[in-house]
Structure 1
Amino acid sequence: MIFGRKGRERFLEAVAGFETAVRERDGQRSQQAMQEIQQHYGDAADGEFVQAGPRLAALLADVPPGPRGLVAVLTGACVERGADAAVCAPHIFDGLGENLTAAGEFCERWAASGGGELPDPDGDALDEAMVERVGEDAAVAWCTLPQWEMASVAMLSHGAVRARLGERRARLLSALRPVQEASEHDFKCLFHALLVLDDEPLVVLHRPTGTGYAMRMSGLGDNFQLHTLLAGVLVGGGHVPGDAPSAQEVAVCRDAPGQVPTTGSFNLVTPGGEWVWNEGTPSDIPVVDGVRLLVLDPPPYQRGWPAGRFFPRMTGDLVLERVLDEPETRRWLERCAPAK
């Protein structure tokens, strides 16, 4: 999120001017103040972002739909520079919910008015022909959805925000799925972020050795990240044989920056024997008797990928709580289909 660089203290002055213009419903002054916010963003100090984030978030409901997505992006940028995500997130998610509903209407109206390939969802796609075909609100919602995705991921990168989602998570996923199904644009970042699990119990069975492990996972954006952390805990911890990932490979999957090459140690499968794809998320792992149950088989072929985090600003964790005893492991394995 990079904006123009000019001035310094004037960033908060521009935010104050934008607040006044929005509350007075002065469109011309609002636009001018927004330009000044963008102009002075680059030289603002972290303390200014801490103040600006909640102030911009609180204005979202009063900003017209067109520029509202940009204000959401700016709020997300402030959160990335230190603003309180827990304070900003409710305003962002309110806007996201409205936007997803209207984007769903866009997809329905597009199909009903002749269909064809949906336009790329970005601001440059908005034109008179689109507005005439689906209506202004639906068109604006579709074209600004990437902005809402960006802002929402900035919020969801914080565990405190995810912990407070509650039933809102299911409502947002329910509104997102029809948009995904209707278009080639999967909005994968938003989808994965909404599926992230925290403080989630996980039973892992290593079939070749007949051993089992009670674990707990948090903040994992995809199963590539989970796979590397599993290898770090189990192989690196001396619990199962194999080539352990390096300390750096594990670190970048937790909280260290960057990516490094790694090689898979297992084949992740469900208790029923279906593969749990690395491209998916830990939410794909089935729940059995109240806990997610994962089986590790030998890899059918060597597979490598860049170890790291799908969400670079989201801290990931996988903790081994205890090694299961033989009777408990056997009871879990008896619930699993034989290896395919």
Structure 2
Amino acid sequence: MIFGNRGRERFRAAVAGFEAAVRERDTDRSEHEFQEMYRHFQEAGEQGIAQAAPRLAALLTEVPPGPRGTIAVVVGACVERGADPAACAPHVFEGLAETLAGVQEFSERWSATRGGDHPDPEEEPAPDVFDRVGPRAALSWLTLPQWEMASVAMLNHAAVRTALDDDRRTELFRALRAAEEASGHDFKCLAHALLVLDDEPLVVLHRPTGTGYALRMSGLGDNFQLHTLLADVLVGGGHVPGRAPSAEEAAVCRDQPGQVHTTGSFNLVTPTGEWVWNEGTPSDIPLVDGVRLLVLDPPPYERSRPAGRFFPHMTGALVLERVLAPEEAGHLLAGCVTKDS
């Protein structure tokens, strides 16, 4: 206990020292205090982590561009250990937006200076990268994976997702997609996290039985997760025939750790007959009269896969609110078409 208390105190002192050194523009001391923070991070108590996260988040704009992404990752790690994400997220998203703007600049300059494949941001850059595009643009590209990690740590929390302005979310998503298209690199975790829906109405029509269901979904990272929970609610709830997932399969798609084997129960289809791919997200389901409308067909073949959550720290939910009246379900199904794959 004595050594535990000492570690907690050293962590708090390192955070305070780092904060002071950054504001005093003392590079050597900043590096020393950061190493002390890193050394004692695992020993930091709950209170120390809770206090450190918002202080470090508020400091991000004052940290030089090179190490700024690293500090954002530290903030994300604090949130994963219980710090308040709502207090940290605005600062992290501000840094993400600035980084994505720098990435756009990087891509434009990279294309204007001989082009070629973008360097791998997770590897040591070639010496000419900084000369070709300039330090700011280069550091934006090279630190984007760190901002992805930090941002996903924030977006794992429903309170952060629901507080994020829709226009801001769209702006971040479009900038990220532009970065992916220009670079050929994939930032799937951040893209999926920005697309997560919360408290979202979903109407599901089961074509073989002609029945319909009004549900509400939150925190689903991909359609694999949605698929398993639909089978749990509808097949497991006795509403439609088919294979119901086990209690464990459903639990790992809601809030339990790990993955387990499962088999698909449906083919997810849009009202116009296109497949809704399991690899996509619930945001792919089209809106019809302001509500997402999904059709369930029999699976064309058996699909085995792991059941679990795309985001292991994000709680998922799918709730049945009501069974549609037969005439309501029939009317909606009459407007849906069937297409061959």
Inter-partner Cα distance in structure 2 for 1:324 and 1:339: 24
Inter-partner Cα distance in structure 1 for 2:12 and 2:76: 16
Aligned to 1:257: 257
8 Å contact kept, 1:235–1:242: yes
Offset at 1:98? 0.2
Matched, 1:294 2:290: no
Inter-partner Cα distance in structure 1 for 2:47 and 2:221: 29
Inter-partner Cα distance in structure 1 for 2:321 and 2:43: 46
Amino acid in structure 2 at the alignment position of 1:173: F
Offset at 1:104? 1.6
Aligned to 2:307: 307
Amino acid in structure 1 at the alignment position of 2:15: V
Matched, 1:142 2:141: yes
Amino acid in structure 2 at the alignment position of 1:255: D
8 Å contact kept, 2:8–2:48: no
Inter-partner Cα distance in structure 2 for 1:37 and 1:146: 21
Q: Deviations over 1:17-39 (max 9, x none)?
A: 00101111111111111111111
Inter-partner Cα distance in structure 2 for 1:164 and 1:7: 35
Aligned to 1:280: 280
Identity rate, percent: 69
Offset at 1:79? 0.3
Offset at 1:8? 3.5
Inter-partner Cα distance in structure 1 for 2:133 and 2:282: 37
Inter-partner Cα distance in structure 2 for 1:301 and 1:185: 32
Amino acid in structure 2 at the alignment position of 1:194: L
Offset at 1:330? 1.2
Offset at 1:40? 1.0
Aligned to 1:161: 160
8 Å contact kept, 1:217–1:318: yes
Amino acid in structure 1 at the alignment position of 2:300: P
Matched, 1:180 2:180: yes
Aligned to 1:128: 127
DSSP 3-state at the match of 1:204:
strand
Inter-partner Cα distance in structure 2 for 1:134 and 1:206: 54
Offset at 1:125? 2.6
Aligned to 1:65: 65
Aligned to 1:319: 319
8 Å contact kept, 1:126–1:139: no
Mean alpha-carbon deviation: is it higher for 163-172 or for 263-272? 163-172
Inter-partner Cα distance in structure 2 for 1:119 and 1:264: 39
8 Å contact kept, 1:157–1:311: yes
CA RMSD of aligned residues (A): 1.1
Offset at 1:127? 4.5
DSSP 3-state at the match of 1:171:
helix
8 Å contact kept, 1:92–1:151: yes
Amino acid in structure 1 at the alignment position of 2:72: A
Offset at 1:262? 0.4
Mean alpha-carbon deviation: is it higher for 18-27 or for 104-113? 104-113
8 Å contact kept, 2:119–2:125: no
Q: Deviations over 1:266-295 (max 9, x none)?
A: 000101100000000000000000000000
Question: What are the equivalent positions in structure 2 for 1:60-139 lying under 5 Å apart?
Answer: 60-122=60-122, 124-139=123-138
Question: What are the equivalent positions in structure 2 for 1:202-221 lying under 5 Å apart?
Answer: 202-221=202-221
Offset at 1:126? 3.3
8 Å contact kept, 2:285–2:292: yes
DSSP 3-state at the match of 2:142:
helix
Question: What are the equivalent positions in structure 2 for 1:31-70 lying under 5 Å apart?
Answer: 31-70=31-70
Q: How many residues align?
A: 334
Inter-partner Cα distance in structure 2 for 1:175 and 1:243: 41
Inter-partner Cα distance in structure 2 for 1:42 and 1:324: 51
Offset at 1:44? 1.3
Inter-partner Cα distance in structure 2 for 1:305 and 1:101: 38
8 Å contact kept, 2:274–2:339: no
When normalised by structure 2's length, the TM-score is 0.96
Offset at 1:175? 1.1
> Unpaired segments of 5 or more residues in structure 1?
1-5
Aligned to 1:3: none
DSSP 3-state at the match of 2:201:
strand
Offset at 1:11? 0.7
Aligned to 2:3: none
Amino acid in structure 1 at the alignment position of 2:93: F
Inter-partner Cα distance in structure 1 for 2:7 and 2:83: 20
